[in-house]
């Protein structure tokens, strides 16, 4: 499998180089030269396969010969070493719970796959890999946990000051070792902008082997297809489901659409957005107007200019009509988010986190005119990561899992800097000098 830059269709690299570079030298996102088509036997036998078999079969074509088969099996096994239950909520809506991993968020899958691939590649390199990541919430914690003590790597995480939950902040600032946190006095788009500028800084790249672990990296983005297949392995209905995805930087939705293109029998996607609704407006009007990020209760989705929008356009060959046949979108307010958490808990005794609540609300609205349809939302984070929001909605905080009790006792270590590239670059070089 080769990958090309969406800014230059004549620039090709293999999976190893796409992973190590993170972003193409011209600033474009890497995209597969072709989307594998899964054969009929793979689809028909999903329910008979193990998680490991499904994960390997999906990722092997993308990895190619850059990682030997035995090592890839090991990477997949560690990546999927937790449960992915498809839980019923109402009569026609299920939740694919993606928060049973080590950091209680869906991003554990992509982060663990990426870190293990990086660790394999780092073992054959003469210098350390420096991983840059911007986070609006769960990415930072998942990347920190996945890369912690991975030999040959240093990780620098940028997060917006005061705009992540206490649990999220502790997950990305308390590990130490090869994990370093920069607290940016701005929003997620400021963090993402700094990361993108670093990849265009020739002086920095001459001295550092720089890569990214955001969903712009193919090794973070593509393995997210696996849990869509795990959902369909558990789907007991004859008709194809409608899937609602809490959408921020759009890597998650984009992975699901790629899985559908490969043959996974998903009927339709709902891009569930909050007040950061540039994509919703694009779906409805055909015109795309990125904006500055707006803070909301579903903070991991607070992205005004999602990077993976370019990949979604690539999937549909820039054709707005084709895109609308596969994806609809609804924007959900904070008020409706709280009301949804409250209503679902009172009626079904199921606790949604604010991101899943946005997805549930969007899917429920979609079903108003199609009551015969069924589908599932992606439960992207455990409700305990948003205790204040949950308590406001249902009157009490969710029970804290044991995995978080010891973590919350640890001290935060982060450097506060302004959203200026000169400040970020100086802080980065200082961190690496001391390592």
pTM, two decimals, is 0.91
181 pLDDT more than 90: yes
Structure tokens belonging to residue 190? 């400021």
How confident is the model over 341-352, as pLDDT tens digits?
Answer: 999 999 999 999
Q: How would you label 186-207 residue by residue, b for 16+ Cβ within 10 Å and e otherwise? A: bbbbbbbbbbbebbeeeebeee
435: pLDDT strictly greater than 80: no
- Nearest 5°: the CA angle 150, 171, 102 is 65
Q: Check residue 249 and give its pLDDT.
A: 87
Q: Would you place residue 23 in the very low, low, confident or very high pLDDT band (cuts 50, 70, 90)?
A: confident
Residue with tokens 């079903």: 367
What is the average per-residue pLDDT within 287-307?
Answer: 91
Burial class (CB in 10 A: 0-12, 13-18, 19+), 342: middle
pLDDT category, 28, cuts 50, 70, 90?
Answer: very high
Q: What is the mean pLDDT of residues 76-84?
A: 97
Q: Identify which of 177, 170, 103, 180 has the alpha carbon closest to the alpha carbon of residue 142.
A: 103
Name which of 288-292, 350-354, 357-361, 375-379 the model is least confident about. 288-292
pLDDT-based confidence at 125, cuts 50/70/90? confident
Q: Between 138-147 and 107-122, two packed helices, what is the crossing angle to 10 degrees?
A: 40
| Token representation of residue 174 | 């308390």
- Residue 137 confidence (pLDDT) above 80: no
How far is 289 from 120, CA to CA, in rounded Å? Answer: 40
For residue 34, give the H/E element and its range.
none
Return the domain boundaries, the chain.
83-105+221-394
- Beta-carbon contacts of 203 under 8 Å, excluding residues fewer than 6 positions away, are none
Running DSSP on this structure, what letter comes out for residue 261? H
User: How high is the pLDDT of residue 200?
Assistant: 87
pLDDT bin (cut points 50, 70, 90) of residue 310 is very high
Q: pLDDT category, 409, cuts 50, 70, 90?
A: confident
**Lowest-confidence region among 32-41, 339-348, 349-358, 403-412:** 403-412
Say if residue 12's pLDDT is above 80. yes
Looking at the predicted structure, is the pLDDT value of residue 421 above 90? yes
- In what order do the strands lie in the sheet containing 8-13? 8-13, 3-5, 30-32
d(CA 192, CA 248): 13
CA distances from 300 to 168, 253, 311 (A): 10, 14, 20
pLDDT (0 to 100) of residue 379? 98
E strand or H helix at 416: strand 415-417
Confidence of residue 433 (pLDDT cuts 50, 70, 90): confident
Task: From 381, 3, 434, select the one nearest 168 (Cα to Cα).
Answer: 381
Per-residue pLDDT band for 131 (boundaries 50, 70, 90) equals very high
Contact 168, 385 (CB under 8 A): yes
For residues 42 and 57, the answer to whether their CB atoms sit within 8 Å is: yes
pLDDT band of 236, cuts 50, 70, 90: very high
Could you give the CA distance from residue 392 to residue 53 in angstroms, rounded to a whole number?
42
pLDDT band with cut points at 50, 70 and 90 for residue 189: confident
DSSP secondary-structure letter at 29? P
Cα 424 to Cα 126: distance, rounded to the nearest angstrom:
26
Contacts of 61 (CB under 8 A, 6+ apart): 1, 36
Question: For every residue of 348-407, which 3-state class applies, written as one string?
Answer: HCCCCCHHHHHHHHHHHHHHHHCCCCCEEEEECECHHHCHHHHHHHHCCCCCCCHHHHCH
**What is 83-105+221-394's CATH topology?**
Rossmann fold (3.40.50)
**Strand, coil or helix: what is 324?**
helix
80, 101 contact by CB (below 8 A): no
pLDDT at 263: 96
Residue 3 forms beta bridges with which residues? 13, 32
Tell me the C-alpha distance between 349 and 335, whole Å: 20
Pairing, β 153-160 against β 327-331: unpaired
pLDDT, average across residues 92-119: 95
pLDDT of 61-71, one tens digit each?
999 999 999 99
Asked whether the predicted pLDDT for residue 293 surpasses 80, the reply is: yes
């Amino acid at each position: 499998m080769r990958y090309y830059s969406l800014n230059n269709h004549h620039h090709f690299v293999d999976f190893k180089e796409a992973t190590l570079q993170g972003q193409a030298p011209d600033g474009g996102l890497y995209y597969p030269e072709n989307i594998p088509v899964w054969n009929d036997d793979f689809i028909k036998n999903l329910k008979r396969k193990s998680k490991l078999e499904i994960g390997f079969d999906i990722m092997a074509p993308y990895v190619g010969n850059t990682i030997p088969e035995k090592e890839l099996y090991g990477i997949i096994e560690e990546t999927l070493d937790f449960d992915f239950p498809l839980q019923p909520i109402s009569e026609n809506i299920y939740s694919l719970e993606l928060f049973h991993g080590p950091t209680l968020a869906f991003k554990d899958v992509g982060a663990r796959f990426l870190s293990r691939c990086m660790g394999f590649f780092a073992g054959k390199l003469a210098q350390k890999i420096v991983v840059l990541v911007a986070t609006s919430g769960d990415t930072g914690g998942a990347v920190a946990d996945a890369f912690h003590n991975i030999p040959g790597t240093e990780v620098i995480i940028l997060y917006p000051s005061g705009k992540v939950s206490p649990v999220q902040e502790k997950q990305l600032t308390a590990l130490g070792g090869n994990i370093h946190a920069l607290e940016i006095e701005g929003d997620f788009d400021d963090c993402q902008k700094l990361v993108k500028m670093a990849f265009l800084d020739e002086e920095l790249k001459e001295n550092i082997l720089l890569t990214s672990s955001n969903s712009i990296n193919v090794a973070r983005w593509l393995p997210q297809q696996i849990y869509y297949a795990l959902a369909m392995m558990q789907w007991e209905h004859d008709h194809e489901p409608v899937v609602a995805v809490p959408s921020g930087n759009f890597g998650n939705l984009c992975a699901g659409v790629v899985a559908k293109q490969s043959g996974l029998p998903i009927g339709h996607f709902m891009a569930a957005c909050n007040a950061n609704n540039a994509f919703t407006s694009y779906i409805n009007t055909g015109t795309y107007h990125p904006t500055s990020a707006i803070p909301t209760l579903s903070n991991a989705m607070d992205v005004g200019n999602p990077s993976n929008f370019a990949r979604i356009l690539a999937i549909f060959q820039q054709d707005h009509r084709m895109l609308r046949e596969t994806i609809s979108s609804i924007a959900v307010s904070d008020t409706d988010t709280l009301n949804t958490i409250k209503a679902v808990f009172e009626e079904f005794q199921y606790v949604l986190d604010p991101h899943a609540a946005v997805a549930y609300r969007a899917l429920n609205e979609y079903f108003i005119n199609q009551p015969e349809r069924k589908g599932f939302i992606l439960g992207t984070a455990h409700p305990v990561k948003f205790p204040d929001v949950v308590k406001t909605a249902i009157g009490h905080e969710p029970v804290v899992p044991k995995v978080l009790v010891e973590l919350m006792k640890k001290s935060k270590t982060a450097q506060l800097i302004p959203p200026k590239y000169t400040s970020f670059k100086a802080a980065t070089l200082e961190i690496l000098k001391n390592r």
